[in-house]
């Protein structure tokens, strides 16, 4: 019997509900207490996290060490800031390979225009998508095969990002100083509509409840995090892994590749990049729900048991505390003061305090000055239950289309 049904019985018939309430509270505590200890142990690691990356000037030893790969498919409406940001990178960047998958919206023309001002740009077309491959890893793999063997590093950049000058130099310096073979960054998000500001932070929070924050030392391979929007890899390590083939059929290829690399002994890092790269991923609340929501479950990079563990953490730590706390207030006002009830009431109140504290912690990851609707960010905890439901929905089925491609036969 659910906790909400128990609360309803307490209100409507208190004389017969004491046992049911105690049972419901005990079950809730059994589910939430272990998860809370897991959450606290992860949050405590944040005290030792690496600080956010800052832009750096190119140093002589970095010259010509990086090949950048940008996969594109109908990105004309949002690629221009990315192209401008890449042009502003120093001469640590040997080449910028834009791998286009037969765009029909003028994306190649924008790349050709950028090439006139910066000869490092090269426009490539990938071959028809092979069976078993998803479009993004195929484009990245195509770029890797076409890139210069003289580049020590390969950097995958998404077309919806806005790199700041000094990004690439900072990435190389951090990877080398920390001894990482693969290093990716979490960006600063740019949102516009009130619906985006309400829903997107709640979806982002589903990652924080399942994994460590950016900048924390690497976890076991199955818990490594990564972000393909800005993903640096040592070329010799990436080629030894078979390029992007290990993640060829994954809709979360960044995490899949990073975890595979970690399992093979590579050193994988994930840092806070809010000061060096921004991203405008989706237009509006509906697109955010549809597009981002269906990849955040990370099921392609997880075992079934790990996925179930993560869904449990999400449900009891992010999805339930607010409705349980609000529902419990009614029972408390009716005079309910049993020990189990008060423990459940207090625990969920404490989890809500943690939730709002996390909201303040992630606030720098959002460009709130650029949008008058940004105050909806502070209401995002009220989107937690829908966000968790979205992850459960996504985890139950595999996508059949992505970015205009159909995958019925994959």
- Global pTM reads 0.91
Query: What is the CATH classification number for the domain harbouring 274?
Result: 3.90.550.10
Q: Categorize the per-residue pLDDT at 332 as very low, low, confident or very high, splitting at 50, 70 and 90.
A: confident
Half-sphere exposure of 149 (CA within 13 A, CB side): 1
Q: Taking the CB of residue 343, how many other CB atoms lie within 10 A of it?
A: 16
199-249 residue pLDDT tens? 999 999 999 999 888 888 767 899 899 999 999 999 999 999 999 999 999
Q: How far apart are CA 213 and CA 364, in angstroms?
A: 13
- What is the pLDDT averaged over residues 253-272? 96
* Structure tokens that stand for 333 in this block: 């006002």
Residue 102 has pLDDT above 80, yes or no: yes
Residue 404 has pLDDT above 90, yes or no: no
For residues 104 and 77, the answer to whether their CB atoms sit within 8 Å is no
Q: What is the pLDDT of residue 239?
A: 97
Residue 7 has pLDDT above 50, yes or no: no
Q: How far apart are CA 88 and CA 162, in angstroms?
A: 11
- What is the pLDDT averaged over residues 307-329? 94
- Within-domain flag for 311: no
- Within-domain flag for 199: no
- What is the pLDDT averaged over residues 394-409? 73
- Within-domain flag for 370: no
- Within-domain flag for 316: no
3-class secondary-structure state, position 177: helix
Q: What is the pLDDT of residue 20?
A: 74
Q: How far apart are CA 117 and CA 246, in angstroms?
A: 36
C-alpha of 187 from chain center? 9
Distances (CA, A) of 307 to 37, 262, 279, 392, 402: 19, 18, 27, 10, 22
Q: How far apart are CA 312 and CA 267, in angstroms?
A: 29
- Within-domain flag for 400: no
Give me the chain's average pLDDT, please.
Answer: 91
Number of domains, the chain: 1
Q: Which helix (H) or strand (E) holds 145?
A: helix 135-146
Q: Taking the CB of residue 373, how many other CB atoms lie within 10 A of it?
A: 15
Q: What is the pLDDT of residue 310?
A: 95
Q: Categorize the per-residue pLDDT at 401 as very low, low, confident or very high, splitting at 50, 70 and 90.
A: low
Q: How far apart are CA 344 and CA 338, in angstroms?
A: 10
The domain of 250 spans: 60-194+212-296
Q: Categorize the per-residue pLDDT at 294 as very low, low, confident or very high, splitting at 50, 70 and 90.
A: confident
- Within-domain flag for 44: no
Residues in the chain: 410
- Within-domain flag for 359: no
Q: What is the pLDDT of residue 183?
A: 97
46-89 residue pLDDT tens? 878 889 999 999 999 999 999 999 999 999 999 999 999 999 99
Triad 375, 326, 396: Cα angle to 5°: 80
Q: What is the pLDDT of residue 9?
A: 47
Residue 198 has pLDDT above 50, yes or no: yes
Residue 116 has pLDDT above 80, yes or no: yes
Looking at residue 231, the DSSP 8-state letter turns out to be E
- What is the pLDDT averaged over residues 384-388? 97
Q: How far apart are CA 332 and CA 21, in angstroms?
A: 12
Residue 410 has pLDDT above 60, yes or no: no
Pairing of the two strands 153-157 and 268-272: unpaired
* Structure tokens that stand for 295 in this block: 């990849």
Q: What is the pLDDT of residue 8?
A: 52
- Within-domain flag for 353: no
């Amino acid at each position: 019997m659910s906790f909400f049904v128990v609360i309803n019985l307490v209100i409507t018939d208190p004389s017969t509900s004491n046992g049911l309430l105690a049972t419901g509270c005990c079950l809730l505590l059994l589910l939430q207490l272990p998860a809370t200890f897991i959450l606290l142990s992860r949050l405590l690691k944040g005290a030792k996290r690496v600080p956010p990356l800052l832009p750096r000037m190119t140093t002589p030893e970095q010259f010509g060490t990086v090949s950048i790969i940008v996969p594109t498919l109908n990105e004309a409406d949002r690629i221009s800031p990315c192209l401008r940001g890449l042009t502003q990178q120093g001469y640590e960047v040997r080449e910028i390979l834009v791998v286009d998958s037969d765009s029909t919206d003028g994306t190649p023309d924008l790349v050709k225009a950028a090439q006139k001002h910066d000869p490092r740009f090269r426009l490539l077309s990938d071959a028809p998508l092979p069976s078993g491959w998803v479009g993004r890893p195929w484009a990245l793999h195509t770029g890797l095969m076409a890139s210069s063997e003289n580049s020590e590093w390969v950097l995958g950049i998404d077309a919806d990002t806005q790199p700041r000058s000094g990004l690439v130099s900072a990435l190389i310096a951090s990877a080398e100083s920390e001894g990482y073979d693969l290093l990716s960054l979490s960006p600063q998000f740019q949102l516009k509509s009130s619906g985006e500001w309400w829903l997107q932070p709640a979806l982002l929070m589903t990652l924080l409840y399942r994994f460590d924050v950016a900048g924390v030392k690497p976890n076991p391979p199955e818990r490594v995090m990564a972000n393909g929007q800005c993903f640096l890899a040592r070329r010799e390590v990436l080629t030894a892994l078979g390029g992007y083939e290990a993640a060829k059929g994954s809709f979360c290829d960044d995490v899949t590749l990073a975890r595979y690399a970690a399992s093979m002994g590579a050193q994988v890092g994930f840092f806070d990049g809010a000061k060096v790269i921004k991203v405008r991923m989706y237009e509006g609340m509906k697109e955010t729900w549809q597009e981002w929501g269906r990849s955040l479950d990370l099921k392609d990079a997880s075992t079934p048991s790990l996925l179930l563990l993560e869904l449990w953490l999400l449900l009891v730590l992010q999805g339930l505390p607010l409705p349980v706390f609000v529902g419990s207030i009614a029972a408390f006002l009716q005079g309910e003061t049993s020990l189990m009830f008060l423990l459940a009431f207090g625990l969920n109140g404490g989890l809500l305090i943690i939730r709002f504290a996390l909201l303040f912690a992630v606030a720098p990851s959002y460009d709130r000055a650029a949008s008058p609707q940004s105050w909806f960010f502070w209401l995002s905890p009220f989107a937690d239950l829908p966000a968790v439901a979205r992850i459960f929905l996504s985890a139950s089925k595999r996508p059949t289309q992505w970015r205009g491609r159909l995958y019925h036969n994959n």
